[in-house]
Structure 1
Amino acid sequence: MRIDSIRIFVKDFHNSRIFYEKALGLECVADGEDQGYLVYRPGDINLILETVDMSSTEEADLVGRFTGYSLHTENLNQTCDTLRAFDPDCIVAEPTEQDWGGNMAHVSDPSGNILTFVEY
């Protein structure tokens, strides 16, 4: 058994696409924008952006949460500098050395979803 996909729910599809492709440098491998989804493949897992109906409270509650997964980067400070240049307010928690020996930072995407970046 392995993890296949991570779904991130967004309210601002256009700006989210720009963020994930331009700021994070991810390549879209399945473009279903007209159907409300985009698929990226960082490593061996599908990262799916999916729009929600913001008029539906149930769906709207899926947006703007802590995502609970970590993206590995070789240079966390450089990654944060790149993201900061894209959106000066997107860094939620600056890179910090962790007790387990790595460094970690938290970033907010255009829909308020919190992504974690780690460097070992």
Structure 2
Amino acid sequence: MKLTSLRVITKDIRPSVQFYEKVTGLTARWYTEDFAELSAGTITIAIGSLRTMKLFGGNPATPAGNKNTIIEFMVPDVDESYERIKTLTNDIIQEPTTMPWGNRSLLFCDPDGNLINFFTPVSDEAIKKFS
């Protein structure tokens, strides 16, 4: 088995895709007006409009309904990323903080309220884990 993508369902796809492009520095590839993807190397962030849920036989996903999952990105310098991110959202949950497990972490929300963590390994153990 290979995890290939994480899909975010949104009520308003254009602003959501633009937000992810700005925070990641990636360019989205649009497949339809209701579906785009941003490839982040080993995983893809897929963004679909609420209308795409009808193709799955109903409405199994609800935008902004997810408060138990965090989308995580390892970045070269989380403090540098914070300077850019804080101009893109007013929804910063936690400014860069060094966590007990050795990552320096920035937690914020996308336009639909989904949690996003940018982190940089800073302890010897965390650096070793991700190298």
TM-score by length of 2: 0.76
Looking at structure 2, the residues matched to 101 and 8 of structure 1 have their Cα atoms a distance apart, in angstroms, of: 28
Amino acid at match of 2:18: I
Match of 1:86, SS?
coil
SS at match of 2:14: helix
Deviation at 1:32, TM superposition (A): 2.2
Change (3 A) 1:64 1:92: farther
1:27 aligned residue: 27
Query: Is contact 2:6-2:43 (8 Å) kept?
Result: yes
Partner of 1:106, secondary structure, is strand
SS at match of 1:85: coil
SS in 1 for 2:61: helix
Contact 1:83 1:90 in 2 (8 A): no
- Bigger Rg, structure 1 or 2: 2
Corresponding residue for residue 10 of structure 1: 10
Q: Over aligned residues, Cα RMSD in angstroms?
A: 2.1
Structure 1's unaligned 5+ residue stretches are: none
Gapped regions of structure 2 (runs ≥ 5): 52-57, 122-131
Larger deviation, residues 15-24 vs 42-51: 15-24
**Structure 1 residue 27: Cα displacement:** 1.6
TM superposition shift of 1:37: 1.1
What residue number does 1:119 align with? 120
| Contact 1:97/1:103, CA 8 A, preserved across alignment | yes
Identical amino acids, percent of aligned pairs: 24
Q: 1:52 aligns with which of 41, 50, 53?
A: 50
Calculate the TM-score normalised by the size of structure 1.
0.82
| 3-state DSSP of counterpart to 2:97 | strand
Contact 1:80/1:91 (8 A) holds in 2: no
Give the total of aligned pairs.
115
